[in-house]
Amino acid sequence: MTAAAPRTVRSLLLLAPLLVFLLAFFVWPLFSMMSQSVSDTAVLRLLPRSAEVLAGWDRTSPPTLPMQQALMEDLRAVDDDQALGDMVRRLNSARSGFRTLMGKTTSALGDTDNPPADLVSIDKRWGKPEFWLAIADALSPLTDRNLLAALDLGRNAAGEIEHLPADQSVNSVILVRTFWIAALVTFFCAAIGYPYAIIAASLSGWKRDLMLAAVLLPLWTSLLVRTAAWFILLQEQGLINDLLRWLRLIDAPLPLIFNRTGVIIAMTHVLLPFMVLPIYSVLITIPKNLMPAAASLGAPPLRAFLRVLLPLSLRGVASGGLLVFISAIGYYITPALIGGPGDQMISSIIAFYATGSANWGMAGALGVVLLVATLLLYSVYARLSADEPGRR
Amino acid sequence: MPMKLAKTAFATLTILFLVAPLIAILPLAFTSSVILTYPVPSWSMRWFHELFFADAWRRAIVNSLIVGTGTTVLATALGTAASLGLRNRVVLFRGAVRTLFLLPMVVPAVVLGVGMQVLLARFGLTNSYMGVIIAHTVVAVPFVVVSVTGALAGIDERVELAAESLGAAPATVFRRVTLPLAMPGVLSGAVLAFATSLDEVVLTLFVAGPNQRTLARQMFSSIRENISPAIAAAAFLFIAATLLIGLAVVLSRSVLAKRR
């Protein structure tokens, strides 16, 4: 062994605790969220005997007596009402009518005085293959319905992927809205942050310090405090409306809160530092004499900017823009507190599915969509900032 | 010059946009009214009284201190050790490991929250302080890693080699040379970890029970359900604490720098 070996062992021992911690409490949660989105055991868990019998069914002929008996046995064995409810909900979403059918069936099976001979005698619908087909399809422990539903897609009776009807297409609206709000916020951050960074980089002394401190102070301040501050400023009796009325610009208060305007203003304020700082760090590496040189060669200011400063600083704008966009698509707190029902972004919908309706499959599927989008954008950002010249 | 005037006006307006909201909220902490609007009818300390003596707020403050302290200790210990391990260039997949350490900063909090709730339920850690501390540590640890890695990168390795060549054992080199030099990074990492925990809402919403309501969580539901000037008082405390901690970091750095 070389002399470096004990050092390497020591380094690995130092790395191990955090590595294990993050694998257990960061990677594993993300994986269990992903597996929630494709797992579909609500039916299989309760119907193990039916699963065995249905495996040998040809999917078209009328249900045989062993199939019916297996299902009856399974249903008699269910003692968990919540699990039963989950299963019925799952089956009903595949084929409507299951809710009443199951209710009727379970109460008939509970009648021990005159036990039914088979399921068809309880309800004629049990004689139809469609209902058995729905059960057979729901018995697979893996499903892509949640992931497809997250993109407003579904499978038709033949198993082909198709768009869901318009009245069920809520998720694409939310996704488009999320990306639209994030794009608007990124645009406003760039429109304010880029000139701000150029001015700050062109100054020196206390003026530059002041401009940087004005960016860093909100960055260090609690997100909740900033959101609360905007809540107070934007409300109907808030300072902004008071000021505008005092200036006689408006007569009636403007609706600034619980709508899109408020969300954009507050998110732009929160994310502006993430735009200014990367642009600034690129700008200060550009030699100061380039712009005067362009001017002395006869370029008017606009042309000098377009041909010299803009190409050199574009990398900063791109990484700032990506940083803002990545943060914006995952935003939860600001839209939840400042926005109205029409401004909720994908995170709010995930939180609703998870905590509001305990639909872990849909929460996981939308989470996967958000996670994939974030990680893709982050890999672009990481590449952009990794091969930045002049940086370690 | 009109160009210069336009620049000054733009810079002033943007500074106003960035800082004014934070200043505007401060006087409302001392209002005697029950609503959060200007003009303030008269000054009073009633909302600070509410903050420290009303049951919900007082418990939230205590919980934030418990969770924040636990997170700071855990994140600083894990993050500092891992940063020391990352110094060794021989370690395989060093880049991938570093990316993994920083990734919790990138992953949207709600996504992590959903996964965390499922997983902690499996371990029986939901509605416990340990669960909240673990969740906060996951998102706080990248700040410690960034901060300590930065400090370690600034250390001249020849200093450590010199100590070693003078006969110091590896443990002594670490205790007497490496750690003191990296201390500013460790300290600011710890402060950032505490601040992250203090401000964390989303994961807390998912993993904490009613008994672990933190101050940030309490502020979130208070803004959402019944906003009162107690929010402004809490904001005042947050901003004052931010300035104090910032000052403490700057001072401790200059003290440590002078001692060298």
DSSP states of A256-310: -SSSHHHHHHHHHHHHHHHHHHHHHHHHTTS-TTHHHHHHHTT--HHHHIIIIIH
Phi, psi of B200 (to 5 degrees): -75, 125
pLDDT, greater one: A68 or A179: A179
Query: Which residue in A222, A364, A378 is closest to B199 by CB distance?
Result: A222
Contact A355 B220 (CB under 8 A): no
Res A346: pLDDT? 92
B201 vs B214: CA distance, rounded Å: 8
ipTM above 0.85, yes or no: yes
Task: Average the pLDDT over A260-280 and give the result.
Answer: 93
Does residue A245 lie within any of the structural domains? yes
As beta bridge partners, residue B31 has B43
Which chain B residues are within 8 Å of A333, Cβ to Cβ?
201-202, 220
> Which stretches does DSSP call E strand in chain A?
153-155, 161-163
Place A50 in a pLDDT band, splitting at 50, 70 and 90.
confident
Binning pLDDT at 50, 70 and 90, where does residue A308 land? Answer: confident
Please give the average per-residue pLDDT across A104-114, as a whole number: 79
Q: Does B120 reside within a domain?
A: yes
Q: Is the domain of A281 the same as that of A224?
A: yes
Interface test with A, best of B17, B18, B90 (most A CBs within 10 A): B18
All residues of chain A having their beta carbon less than 8 Å from the beta carbon of residue B205 are 351, 355
Is the pLDDT reported for residue A117 higher than 60?
Answer: yes
Mind telling me how many Å the CA of A265 is from chain B's nearest CA? 10
What span, in angstroms and rounded, lies between the C-alpha atoms of B120 and A4?
40
Q: Best of A2, A20, A22, A374 to disrupt the B interface by mutation (most B CBs within 10 Å)? A: A22
Please, which pLDDT band fits residue A194 given cuts at 50, 70 and 90?
A: very high
> Does A165 fall in a domain?
no
At B203, the pLDDT band (50, 70, 90 cuts) reads very high
Q: How many CB atoms neighbour CB A199 within 10 A?
A: 17
Looking at beta carbons, which residues of chain B come within 8 Å of A12?
85, 91
Mean pLDDT of A51-67: 82
User: Is the predicted pLDDT of residue A2 greater than 60, yes or no?
Assistant: no
Position with higher pLDDT, A76 vs A175: A175
Partner-chain residue, chosen from B78, B118, B119, that has the shortest CB–CB distance to A21: B78
Task: Tell me, yes or no, whether A131 and A194 share the same domain.
Answer: no
A–B CB contacts, 8 A cutoff, strictly below:
239
**What pLDDT, on the 0 to 100 scale, is given for residue A219?**
86
With CA atoms as reference, the chain B residue closest to A273 would be: B18
Query: Tokens 């050092």 sit at which residue?
Result: A7
Which CATH number goes with the domain that contains B98?
1.10.3720.10
Is residue A312 one of the residues assigned to a domain?
yes
Residue A99 lies in a domain: yes
Q: Do the domain assignments include residue B164?
A: yes
Residues of the domain holding B62: 48-259
The string of pLDDT tens digits covering residues B108-124 is: 999 999 999 888 888 88
User: Which range is least confidently modeled, A144-148, B115-119, B211-215?
Assistant: A144-148
For residue A147, tell me if it sits in a domain.
no
Chain mean pLDDT for chain A? 85
Quote the DSSP letter at residue A153: E
- Tell me, what's the pLDDT at A1? 44
Place of tokens 């299951």: A98
Q: Among residues A102, A122, A142, which one ends one of the domains?
A: A142
- The pLDDT assigned to B108 comes to 94
Has residue A277 got a pLDDT over 60? yes
Q: What is the pLDDT of residues B41-50, one digit of tens each?
A: 888 888 888 8
Does any CB of chain B come closer than 8 Å to the CB of residue A10? yes
Q: Which of B4, B14, B238 is best to mutate for the A interface (most A CBs within 10 A)?
A: B14
A197 and A136 within one domain? no
Q: What is the CATH number of the domain that holds A204?
A: 1.10.3720.10
| Residue-number span of the structural domain to which A111 is assigned | 48-142
B16 or A121, which is more confident: B16
Query: A61: helix, coil or strand?
Result: coil
Q: Pick from A25, A222, A269: which is nearest to B17 by CB?
A: A269
| Binding-face residues of A in 310-369 toward B, CB within 8 A | 326, 329-330, 332-333, 336-337, 347, 350-351, 354-355, 360, 363-364, 367
> Can you tell me the mean pLDDT for A221-238?
88
B97 in a structural domain: yes
Positive/negative CA dihedral, A264, A266, A267, A272: positive
All residues of chain A having their beta carbon less than 8 Å from the beta carbon of residue B73 are none
Residue B228 in any domain: the answer is yes
Residues A206-214 have a mean pLDDT of 89
Residue B5 lies in a domain: no
- Tell me how far apart the alpha carbons of residues A213 and B243 are, in angstroms, rounded to a whole number: 12
Question: How many angstroms from the chain centroid is the CA of residue A206?
Answer: 42
Average pLDDT of A5-9? Answer: 79
A163 - beta bridge partners? A153
pLDDT, average across residues A185-193: 96
Residue A142 is classified by DSSP as: B
Contact call for residues A91 and A105 (beta carbons, < 8 A): no
Q: Is the pLDDT of residue A227 over 80?
A: yes
Judged by phi (left if over 0) then psi (alpha if -120 to 50, else beta), residue A258 lies in left
Q: Chain B: nearest CA to A276, how far in angstroms?
A: 11
Highest mean pLDDT among B16-20, B35-39, B48-52: B16-20
Q: What is the pLDDT of residue A391?
A: 41
Which residues in chain A (129-148) have CB-CB distances under 8 A to chain B?
Answer: none
**Residue A390: pLDDT band by 50, 70, 90 thresholds?**
very low
Intra-chain end-to-end CA distance of chain A, in Å: 32
Report how far residue A368's alpha carbon sits from residue A380's, in angstroms, rounded to the nearest whole number: 18
Domain count along chain B: 1
B113 vs A114, which has greater pLDDT? B113
pLDDT of residue B193: 93
Range of A191-195, B88-92, B214-218 with top mean pLDDT: A191-195
**pLDDT tens column, A361-389:** 888 999 999 999 999 999 999 888 776 55
Q: What is the per-residue pLDDT for A158?
A: 67
b/e per residue B1-35 (b: at least 16 CB within 10 A): eeeeeebeeebeebbebbbebbebbeebbbbebee
Task: Give yes or no for a contact between B98 and B105, defined as CB atoms under 8 angstroms apart.
Answer: no
Q: Is A254 left (phi over 0), alpha (psi -120 to 50) or beta?
A: beta
> Phi and psi for A121 in degrees, rounded to 5?
-70, -20
Residue A4 has pLDDT above 70, yes or no: no
* Residues contacting residue B15 through CB under 8 Å, at least 6 positions apart: A210, A211, A214
For residues A188-201, give the mean pLDDT.
94
Rounded-to-integer distance, Cα B230 and Cα B238, Å: 12
Share of chain A above pLDDT 90, in %: 28
pLDDT confidence tier of residue B65, bands split at 50, 70 and 90 = very high
Question: Which one is predicted more confidently, B90 or B28?
Answer: B28
A226 is written with which tokens? 């900033």
Q: Which residues of B touch A10 (CB under 8 A)?
A: 85, 170
| Count of domains for chain A | 2
Of A121, A142, A163, the position where a domain reaches its end is: A142
A260 and A342 in a common domain:
yes
* A28 domain-assigned: no
Query: Do A132 and A179 have their domain in common?
Result: no
Query: Cα A39 to chain center, whole Å?
Result: 19
Which parts of A203-222 fold into alpha helices (H)?
205-220
Give the side-chain half-sphere CA count within 13 A for A98.
21
What count of Cα atoms within 13 Å lies in the side-chain half-sphere of residue A392?
Answer: 3
Mean pLDDT of A244-252: 83
> Do A252 and A180 reside in the same domain of the chain?
yes
Q: Are residues A190 and A294 in the same domain?
A: yes
